[in-house]
Amino acid sequence: MNRIEKVFQNLKQNNEKAFVPYIMAGDGGLETLAEKITFLEKAGATAIEIGIPFSDPVADGPVIQQAGIRALEAGTTLRGVLAAIAEIRPIVHIPLIFMTYMNPIMAYGIGNFISDASASGVDGLILPDLPAEEEEIIAPIAEKAGIEIIRLVTLTSPLERIQEIAAKGKGFLYAVTVNGITGARKGFKDELGKHLERVKEVSPIPVLAGFGISEPEHVKEMNQHCDGVIVGSRIIELLQSGELAKVEELIASSKIEEIKL
């Protein structure tokens, strides 16, 4: 069983919610990656989403764009990140999931990338520019190698399509909570809770909400309607400004049982 499946099985048994932080590999230098991963694991992260920088990240807002630029300026490459992951993997127990765009993987060579990622201990892949229509270019090879493709569904995906997409994976379903790009937002659409519940109803795998989630209140709110959250831009900001206590607080907010009045 893949690490992702296992970790969600445990959460379910303990009636807990998932918290998946996103970090940009190489932001602050690749040598800081191991430290960030171990910190986040210790703080209680369910899994970690590791961004591989790409020059033209069309699904990302300003914070992740800037993190990507910093990482590229620090000389970060996919090959380098894979080596860093291989090194830290033996002491990290939670799933590590790569998030990147198709082009860096294609330049590496899809087959080579999957076999190296598998050898390094990468558990999953999130590819925001790879909709279901194009996924056969990589999904069968990845899944054969034990790397889960984490698929995205959005507010514009019809329910039937969500059902089809959800049925394909064994990891979790990434429910995008806004029409738009990554980055903090003040609020969400009123219907979002209902939307997440509909997604959850048709999904045989856990549903995690992501995009725009930045505050403990958002985390608690989302967790009422799904199985956990993914937080990116806010984590990047907090790590950059060294506010580690706030990162811990954000992760902890997913562990506290909602007190119903």
Q: Supply the minimum distance, in Å, between the C-beta of residue 246 and other proteins.
A: 27
Q: How far is CA 174 from the centre of its chain?
A: 8
Place of tokens 């703080």: 43
158 binds other proteins (CB under 8 A): yes
Q: Is 203 in the site for other proteins (CB under 8 A)?
A: no
Q: Does 59 bind other proteins (CB under 8 A)?
A: yes
Number of residues counted as binding other proteins (CB under 8 A): 39
- Region near other proteins per CB under 8 A, out of 40-48, 98-106, 195-203, 237-245: 98-106
Least distance to other proteins, CB of residue 192, Å: 14
108 touches other proteins by CB under 8 A: yes
Residue with tokens 């998946």: 20
Per CB under 8 A, the list member of 54, 98, 172, 188 interacting with other proteins is 54
Query: CB under 8 A: which stretch of 70-78, 117-125, 187-195, 199-207 binds other proteins?
Result: 70-78
Q: Which is nearer to other proteins, 91 or 137 (CB)?
A: 137
Q: Which residue has the tokens 């937080």?
A: 231
The alpha carbon of 167 is separated from its chain's Cα centroid by a whole number of angstroms, namely 19
CB-hemisphere CA count at 13 Å for 17? 25
- Out of 84, 99, 139, 181, which residue is the one contacting other proteins (CB under 8 A)? 181
Which parts of this chain interact with other proteins (CB under 8 A)? 54-56, 58-59, 61, 65, 72, 77-79, 101-108, 128-134, 152-158, 161, 176, 178-181
